[in-house]
Amino acid sequence: MYIVLHTGPDSLLDEILTACDSHRVRFVENGERIEKGIYVSRPRRHLVVNENTIGVSELNAPKRDLWIPSIDELFESTAKSQGSRSIGIILSGTMHDGVAGLLAIRKAGGTTIAQEPEEAQSPEMPMAALDASAVDFCLPIKGIAAKLSELCV
């Protein structure tokens, strides 16, 4: 699982997630082999999935549509390297980061999911994905967890 969040450079997110979850949770190091675990984007770096490895951009790489890290960068690289095995999920957030990436995942034969906007703290990102017809499933959080379990069998 790969997570892109717009956080500050001093984020303690990996330590917080590790304390709450038994899975291996950490910030991505460039060139890591893909293994079971949860990979979190580093602040001010794009997260990129290759066929067998995960990479990060240089520190302060160019922003994409105002964002670094960009969800679109993650989703598009996932679609390119993983094809129909790709799953993209958009949760609560502002603006439209992730829409182009969801479209790339759908084009590659993968599955796209958005959180129900009514449930989201900030519904703009799920709404943007729905408005762009980039979503296969629009689900509440509990429904997303169930759908992931079904898709990953």
Residue-wise over 51-73: b if at least 16 C-beta within 10 A, else e?
A: eeebbbbeeeeeebeebbbbbbb
pLDDT digits (tens, 9 = 90+) for 66-90: 778 889 999 999 999 999 999 999 9
What domains can you pick out in the chain, each with its CATH number? 2-151 (3.40.50.180)
- pTM of the entire structure? 0.85
Measured at the CA of 142, the angle between CA 137 and CA 145, to 5 degrees, comes to 70
Instruction: Tell me the three state secondary structure of residue 2.
Output: strand
pLDDT at 116 over 60: yes
Confidence tier at 132 by pLDDT (50, 70, 90):
very high
* pLDDT above 90 (res 110): yes
For 125, phi and psi rounded to 5 degrees? -65, -50
7-66: pLDDT as tens digits: 655 655 656 665 655 567 777 888 889 888 778 887 788 889 998 998 888 877 878 887
Query: In this model, does residue 124 exceed pLDDT 80?
Result: yes
pLDDT attached to residue 115: 95
